[in-house]
Amino acid sequence: MKFDVVNLDRNKVSEIELSDAVFAAEQNNHLLYEVAKMQQINRRRGTVGVKNTSMVAGGGKKPWRQKGTGRARQGSIRASQWVGGGKAMAPKSRDYFYRPPRKVRRGALRVALSQRAREQQLIIVDAFPVDEAKTKKALEVLQRRLKLDNALVVDEQTNAALHKSVRNLATFDALPPEGVNVESILRHKALVLTQAAAKALEGALS
């Protein structure tokens, strides 16, 4: 596929040819679901822990005899119906880690990139130079010059000023090519890639 390469004023300056396998992949919602689920579920800490009857201290002795008192029979003051007793069917701490195969993860990234390309929400800029880490200047470029209100910007890790400038914005985010993920792409309406980032993604996903 050929894409227009624009400058920060959205004027075409050249063209770039990118792999169809990466930027024109067939839509597959199941791949997107599996990888988005992986990212969300792996953020669960799973540290909840509630004591059941066997874990609560005390209650070893039967509070009163079985028969003859007129009261309901009880085996322990730490049973679940007592105040201070254990919780019946208590939830336990667990590991929610989930990781689909590598082919699924890479395939989902291809689908997400291709989806933005089909929607014409994939913008490739020749470069995104930032002299200093100033959030206000980055916002001006994104909103006034590129005419975007919600976007993910991808440029090389060496452009540290860009990453620092964009990360404080509510509706924008910046990532290096190594950190691009399905959830970040889907959470933003547009995707802005520099030429270097586009080539890096093509090389990693081809």
Q: What angle do CA 60, 65, 68 make, to 5 degrees?
A: 165
What sign has the CA pseudo-torsion 131, 133, 136, 140?
positive
Distances, alpha carbon 151 to alpha carbons 116, 117, 137, 182, in Å:
11, 14, 16, 14
Cα–Cα dist 148/193, whole Å: 13
Q: What is the pLDDT of residues 129-177, one digit of tens each?
A: 988 999 999 999 999 999 999 999 999 999 999 999 998 899 999 999 9
Q: What is the pLDDT of residues 20-61, one digit of tens each?
A: 999 999 999 999 999 999 999 999 999 988 999 989 999 889
Whether the model clears a pTM of 0.85, i.e. scores above it, the answer is no
